[in-house]
Structure 1
Amino acid sequence: MAGSVAVVTDSTAYLPASMVAELGVTVVPLQVVVGGVSRPEDIGSDTEITFGADEVVAALRANRPVTTSRPSPQVFVDTYRRLQARGHTAVVSVHLSGDISGTVAAARLAASEVAAGGLKVDVIDSRSLGMGLGFGVQAAAEAAAGGADGPDVARIAARRSLNSSIYIYLDTLEFLRRGGRIGAAKAWLGSALTIKPVLALADGRLEPLERVRTTQRALTRLLELAVSEVDGVDPSKFEDDGGVRMAVHHLSAPERATELAERLHEHLPSLAEVPVVEVGPVIGAHVGPGAVGVVVARGLDS
């Protein structure tokens, strides 16, 4: 283990627990506050009392206040020092877009503090979220396991994340409004009851893309947008390690998400398995129940 590179991320990567275990990634949870009670976002650990997606969905539907916050810098300091104690001499810490959360800023403060103890920490702002972040973490962990050094692992994490696109359908803009992250979509609020908004993650920020009239049309539009991202890509690039990957996220909408994943496979038969992953409370608090998103990672060499 001595001399190896450790990979750290946060809970908004929403990596399946099996993948986290297989990759040996360390996950730091963000905090969720429901009705004044603060707990970590659930990351599949049974050692803490956490908030999961179901509890936050219930709170949102009952109009109970739900807010989120970053981990403190001290949480990252403690995490990095534990990894150093296990024999790691470098850490690559890959996180949620800095325009959405202060998590990456907290990680950078912690990296500065532990540097005096001889631990080199590269902190990467993925400019993404969900599996857009997660695919970058996966690539970083695989590179680290293959013997890559810290700077190379950091470059791979950044390149994979920055080569990802995310498109999200929302049942309503209300939850983005409540969380103060509505941005340019604010102009759509007056017609929010009559339209179905589709947003894109652009340079680390959720931005309005277009409006459609029905949920089914929104799912079709997500499909079209995802397929267009890889139009003209050699089918062999869907099979390479580090090649094209896709994932579907949702909050309390498994049927919609499964339908979209199946349609992606129909249109792109060379595509590897498309994981369907429910987002947790942190992202869920802002997108709201019924949301569905598609993540497209175009590949390390794109």
Structure 2
Amino acid sequence: MRLTIPKPRPRPRPVTPADAARPAVRVVTDSTACLPEAGAADGGPVVVPLQVLTPDGTRREGVDITPAEVARRIGAGQRLTTSQPAPEDFADVYRGLAAEGARAIVSVHLSGDVSGTVTAAAHAGQRAMVPVRAVDSRTAAMALGFAALAASSCAQAGADAVHVAARAREVAASSRCLFLVDSLDHLRRGGRLSAGAAALGAALGVRPILEIVDGQVTLVQRVRTRAAALDRMLALAVAHAATMERPGVAVHHLGAPERAAAAAGRLAEVLNVTPVVTPVSAVLGTHAGPGALAVVVAELGRHEH
């Protein structure tokens, strides 16, 4: 009779002070949120990168490619496309957060009408070790970013996953995401704007103001000059912020830092806030094109944990 010696069971990883400080509910978002700093190490949103498909390979935004490189490549005549993360990318993140002690995850993402990102997150969540709530923000850029940050604040305050997901939806729904582009061709080729809307916006001597409305890119107004279009876009943002208790404001650009800084300065003076200023994400920049300028306003007040 052979004696079988049982193999020793692996010891669980000891809980560190950093683990104890992390909230039980963690928030995941994607790179189109344009967050200036993810802050994942401090319990903030964990960012999953989308992909830019270039002639020489696939690049993960924020990892292998920057908005400045996207602007340079488009300016050189390259045709770029984009792709959502694979469900496995989300599964890896969810698995890591569960290992760190997360008991639930709220995954907040780019509008499902323009990307399959939230669908990939939901599919991965069905197989995760902990409950995952996938939230379609119905928006993008810092309208998504503000929603993810607000949700993360709720999670760090001890709120449960239902509350955290509701907070993400609340902030996203309060937002306006307005933007200008130098050409509508990139949006039209990428399928993010209908041919009819592109034709209306491309009339000679007209600058279109665009907005993400209920998840879709919509033509809001046509203005005769770039300067007038910028003035009108800022006026729309200011009017929306005026209805808010504590507006969060962001300005994005692709290859136009001076224009973004000037726009942010004007908003800061009128609204008495300090706007977040960042390049638009590489993926969003691929569809907007060089010279794009965006303004986001979202309500960050009127909430109790």
- 1:122 deviation in Å? 0.7
Within 5 Å, give how 1:35-184 maps onto structure 2: 35-42=55-62, 50-114=64-128, 117=129, 119-183=130-194, 184=196
Contact 1:34–1:56 (CA under 8 A) maintained in structure 2: no
| CA deviation after TM superposition for structure 1 residue 298, in Å | 2.4
Quote the Cα distance in structure 2 between the aligned partners of 1:53 and 1:150: 33
Structure 1 residues 274-297: Cα deviation after superposition (integer angstroms, max 9, x where no partner) = 011111210001111111111010
Name the structure 2 match of 1:251.
Answer: 254
From the superposition, tell whether residues 232 and 38 of structure 1 become closer, same or farther in structure 2 (CA, over 3 Å): closer
C-alpha separation between the residues in 1 aligned to 2:174 and 2:87?
Answer: 28
CA displacement at 1:36 relative to structure 2: 4.3
1:138-287 correspondence to structure 2 within 5 Å = 138-183=149-194, 184-188=196-200, 191=203, 193-233=204-244, 237=245, 243-269=246-272, 271=273, 273-287=274-288
Which 4+ runs in 1 deviate beyond 6 A?
Answer: none
Gaps of 5+ in 1: 43-47, 238-242
Give a deviation string over 1:246-280, Cα, whole Å, max 9, x none: 111111111111111111122222x3x10111112
Q: How many residues align?
A: 282
Q: Could you say which structure has the larger radius of gyration? A: 2
User: Does the aligned pair in 2 maintain the 1:156–1:300 contact within 8 Å?
Assistant: no
- Contact kept? 1:23, 1:138, Cα under 8 Å: no
Question: Structure 1 residues 20, 279: CA separation in 2 closer, same or farther (over 3 Å shift)?
Answer: farther
Q: Which string of whole-angstrom CA distances, capped at 9 and with x for unpartnered residues, describes residues 70-111 of structure 1?
A: 000111111111111111110010000001110000000011
Partner of 1:16: 36
CA distance in 2, matches of 1:276, 1:36: 30
Query: Structure 2 regions of 5+ residues with no counterpart?
Result: 1-18
CA distance in 2, matches of 1:108, 1:232: 34
- Give RMSD over aligned pairs: 1.8
The residue that corresponds to 1:240 in the other structure is none
Between the aligned partners of 1:55 and 1:300, the Cα distance in structure 2 is 36
> In the TM superposition, what whole-angstrom CA distance separates every residue of 1:179-206 from its partner, at most 9, and x where no partner exists?
1212252232652x52211101110111
Distance 1:82 1:177, change over 3 A: same
Identity of aligned residues (%): 44
Contact 1:35 1:66 in 2 (8 A): yes
One-letter code aligned to 1:227? V
TM-score where L is the length of structure 1: 0.88
Q: 1:19 to 1:75 in 2, by over 3 A?
A: closer
* Distance of 2:210 and 2:44 partners within structure 1: 33
1:36/1:182 CA distance change after superposition, 3 Å: farther
- Output the amino acid matched with 1:88: A
Query: Using a 3 Å threshold, how does the CA distance of structure 1 residues 299 and 5 change in structure 2: closer, same or farther?
Result: same
Once the two structures are superposed, residues 12-34 of structure 1 have per-residue CA deviations (whole angstroms, 9 ceiling, x without a partner) of: 00101265555532110001111
Normalised to the residue count of structure 2, the TM-score between the two structures is 0.87
Alpha-carbon distance change, 293 to 190 in structure 1, aligned in 2, over 3 angstroms: closer
